[in-house]
Amino acid sequence: MTVTTTHYLVVSLLLFGIGLAGILVRRNLITVLMSIELVLNSVNINLVAFSYHHGDLTGQIFSIFTITVAAGEAAVGLGILLAFFRLRETTRLDQATELSG
Amino acid sequence: MEFLEFLAAHGADLLFYAFAALALAGGLGVVLLRNPMYGAMALLTSFLAVAALFFLRHAEFVAVVQIFVYGGGIMVLFLFVIMLVNLHRLPEPKRFLSQSPLALVVAGVMVVLLAIFLAQAALAPAATDLASFRTVEGRPLGNTQAVAWSLYRDYLLPFEIASVFLLIAMIGAVVLGRRQ
C-alpha cells in the first residue's frame, strides 16, 4: 500500500493527540513543555505533507517559521519554569496556587 | 533477489512506517515516563523520527533545520533545565494530575472529531510535479537554494519579524532566568 498524504495526516493527528493528552495530564511542568513541543511537531508534519501534496514550497517555509516560534516558546517557557522553581522549590503544576481564589 | 525487488518498490513506504512508529513511540514515552530525563530522550527520538519523515517528503532543508534546532538547541535547553531543577532529587509521588480522566476524555474527543474531519475531507489529487522544490527560475538547484530563494524574496518581511521575535524571546528568557 503506497504511502499517501493521508498517512502523514494520521501520524500527525496521533502525535497531536499524544501531545495534547500530555499537556492536560502530566503534573510536572517540564513534561508539559515537552508535550507542547510534540504538538508543534505534529503541526509541522501536516505542513510538510501538504507542501508535498500540492507541490508548493510554501508549506516548508511556513514550517520553518513554526520551528522559530517553537524555539522562542521553549526559551521563554523554560525561563518561566526556572522563575517558578525559585519561588516554590518544585516544578509540580498543582503547587502553582498563587492565583487560586 | 525477490526481496531486493520488494525493497526497491516499497523501501520508502517501509521507512515511513518505521519512522512514524518511532515518532509516536517517542511521544508516548514523553507522556508516560516518570523520569523527565528519560522523557527528554524519548522526545529526542521523536524529533529525529519526524526529521526522517520530512526527508521522506522531500523537505530536506526543513529536516536538517529540525535536527539542528530541535535535536540540538531545544533539547540542550531542556536538559540544562532538568539538571538545574533536579538537583534536589525531589521525590515524584504521582505523575498525573487528579483531573486526568476528564482530561483524557477531552483529548480523546478532540482526536475523534479531527479523525472524523480527516475521514470526510476530500483532498485534491496529489501533485506529480515537484520541480518547485529544487529549481530556482528554471535552473536545477537544490532544495536549500529553492527555500532560500523563496524565503529571501517572497517572505522577507516575515523573516525579519521572526528575527525580532527571537531577539524579544532571548531578552525575555534572560530577564526571567536572572537571579534577583
Q: How confident is the model at residue A19 (pLDDT cuts 50, 70, 90)?
A: very high
- For the purposes of burial, counting CB atoms within 10 Å of the CB of B37, is it exposed (0-12), middle (13-18) or buried (19 or more)? middle
Residue A17 lies in a domain: no
Task: Give the C-alpha separation, B164 to B167, whole Å.
Answer: 5
- For the purposes of burial, counting CB atoms within 10 Å of the CB of A19, is it exposed (0-12), middle (13-18) or buried (19 or more)? buried
From chain B, pick out residues whose CB is under 8 angstroms from the CB of A88. none
Q: pLDDT at position B142, please?
A: 85
From chain B, pick out residues whose CB is under 8 angstroms from the CB of A35. 30-31
Residues in contact with B128: Cβ distance below 8 Å, sequence separation at least 6, in sequence order: A55
Optimal mutation site among A1, A54, A76, A80, interface B, most CBs of chain B within 10 A? A76
Residues A5, A11, A13: CA angle, nearest 5 degrees: 100
Residue A66 lies in a domain: yes
Residue A47 lies in a domain: yes
Residue A53 lies in a domain: yes
Range of the domain at A47: 28-92
Q: pLDDT at position B88, please?
A: 59
Phi first, then psi: give them for residue B56, nearest 5 degrees.
-65, -25
pLDDT (tens digit per residue) in A46-101: 999 999 999 889 999 999 999 999 999 999 999 999 888 888 888 888 888 888 76
Question: Taking CB atoms and an 8 Å limit, are B62 and A60 in contact across chains?
Answer: yes
Question: Taking CB atoms and an 8 Å limit, are B158 and A34 in contact across chains?
Answer: no
| Nearest residue to B31 (alpha-carbon basis) of A53, A22, A4 | A22
Q: pLDDT at position B176, please?
A: 86
Task: Give the C-alpha separation, B149 to B56, whole Å.
Answer: 22
CATH number at A36 reads: 1.10.287.3510
**DSSP string across A31-97:** HHHHHHHHHHHHHHHHHHHHHHHHT-THHHHHHHHHHHHHHHHHHHHHHHHHHHHHHHS--BGGG--
Which parts of chain B sit beneath pLDDT 70?
Answer: 87-93, 180
Minimum-distance CB partner of A72 among B47, B155, B166: B166
Q: What CATH class is the domain B8-88?
A: mainly alpha
Q: pLDDT at position A66, please?
A: 94
- Contact B107/A17 with Cβ under 8 angstroms? yes
Residue A32 lies in a domain: yes
| Grid cell in block for residue B89 | 532529587
Query: Where do the domains of chain B lie?
Result: 8-88, 133-180
Phi first, then psi: give them for residue B73, nearest 5 degrees.
-65, -60
Q: pLDDT at position B63, please?
A: 95
B16 in A contact zone (CB under 8 Å): yes
Q: pLDDT at position B89, please?
A: 59
Instruction: Specify the amino acid at residue B94.
Output: K
Count of domains observed in chain A: 1
Say what the pTM is.
0.91
Task: Give the C-alpha separation, B158 to B95, whole Å.
Answer: 40
Q: pLDDT at position A100, please?
A: 78
Residue A98 lies in a domain: no
Residue A84 lies in a domain: yes
- Contact A11/B18 with Cβ under 8 angstroms? no
The ipTM assigned to this model is: 0.93
Minimum-distance CB partner of B150 among A52, A57, A82: A57
